[in-house]
Structure 1
Amino acid sequence: MAQAALKSKLEADVEIQASPQQFYHMLVSYKLRDVQHTCNDKIQGVDLQQGEWGKVGTIISWSYVHDGETKVATDVIEAIDPDKNLITFRVIEGDVLKEHKSFSLSLQASPKGRGSGSIVHVTLEYEKLHDGVADPESLLQLLVDLTKDIDAHLPQPN
């Protein structure tokens, strides 16, 4: 029973002005490397290690600031669904794996109920190495803040 408690999920919804397609396209295109220019206080580097931007199996390395410290992560794009404006990354190396056996994150942009804009649903799924590891709520907040920064960088609807 204790083993199941180590697996968990955190989720957040972020309201943005960009369309679901605009936000999704930023994440799956070569423009993802521009994220470091959009929010350089949070992302210090984005490097394509293997594969092609926007393709399942592509490996991307990140240098980012979390809780005031520079950290690194290497992710593989695990799933892409253009019909749902969804991308899923699984961490395969990096600081987050010091406390987690597995860690993945998904971002899905959906149209807002009325008017323009979108809701980005951020999901973290993870398995802690042990009970003493805190839930990565500050990492979820970092992703919420990054989503807002990316939105501010995208062309806004008229």
Structure 2
Amino acid sequence: MGTGKVETDVELKASAEKFHEVFCGRPHHISNVSPDKIQGVELHDGEWGKEGSIICWSYVHDGEAKIAKEKVEAIDPKNNSITFRVIEGDLLKEYKSFIVKIDVTPKGEGSVAHWTLEYEKLKDDVPHPETLLGFCSEVSKELDNHLTSTQA
């Protein structure tokens, strides 16, 4: 079946370190920032901010409540990068494998979050996850607004 990759950049006012730190060490706070999109994030195994930890996201995508259980595959604090591999949940009904990577690079006074979704479809007619990429972009913007408005 088809493997693929979709990517997007999100311009942020927050620093790369601040943005990365939330996704890495405090992803459960994102549900406070985007409650309409992220209902909750639970730690199932390991520790927040540690490779090998298992995190379960409850989210609403395309109007449906969904779950994604992810393993933290890699964390690179120097490059503000984190990689999640989906190991259970709704995405695996359509995709054989699904990896989410977030790289945050400093830019001027803010930063740029680069999202990469890599996947292998179970069937050829499964759509590319562009709407999920848009969802990630919207959550990034909401988190950025939260991080920059509370810096005052």
* Stretches of 4+ aligned residues off by more than 4 angstroms: none
Name the structure 2 match of 1:59. 54
TM superposition score normalised by structure 2: 0.96
1:8 aligns with 2:1: no
1:137 aligns with 2:133: no
1:124 aligns with 2:117: yes
Structural mapping, 1:36-115, within 5 Å? 36-112=31-107, 115=108
* Counterpart code for 2:67: V
Name the structure 1 match of 2:13. 17
1:45 and 1:26 map into 2 onto residues whose CA distance is 14
**CA RMSD, Structure 1 to Structure 2 (Å):** 1.1
TM superposition score normalised by structure 1: 0.92
Please say if residues 82 and 103 of structure 2, whose CA atoms lie closer than 8 Å, have aligned partners that are also in contact.
yes
Aligned-residue identity in percent: 51
* Counterpart code for 1:138: T
Residue ranges of structure 2 left out of the alignment (5+ in a row): none
**Deviation at residue 155 of structure 1 after TM alignment:** 3.6
Aligned to 2:92, the other structure's residue is in SS state: helix
**Which of 5, 20, 23 is equivalent to 1:27?**
23
Residue ranges of structure 1 left out of the alignment (5+ in a row): none
2:110 and 2:148 map into 1 onto residues whose CA distance is 11
1:110 and 1:92 map into 2 onto residues whose CA distance is 27
Aligned residues: 151
